[in-house]
Amino acid sequence: MFEYKKMQMISPGSALPGCSEAMQIASRHYVTGNPVQEPFSEDIELALFGLGCIWGAERRFWQQEGVWSTAKGYAGGYTDNPTYGEVLQWLNKPQ
């Protein structure tokens, strides 16, 4: 009934094509009003979290004391600058 299949990294040839240029984003966070890209002041520490649902999880960080700003995106893998649409298309294709 419940089949477990170990996840494996895809090959570079199977990866999304991506984009050579990073997506243009707003300079300030919509909720906090703080900058979302470096350079930040020297007293700011950066943290990178791997989460499932990036939209709902990011909201929880806004509510935490000491969080300056947040930005969601994709990290790791072979694809440079994947778009949200590309990732959705890849996730919804038959495996």
Active site residues: 53
Phi-psi region of 67 (alpha: psi -120 to 50; beta: other; left: phi over 0): beta
Q: Which of 22, 9, 17, 23 is nearest to 77 (CA)?
A: 9
In the block, tokens 């960080």 appear at 61
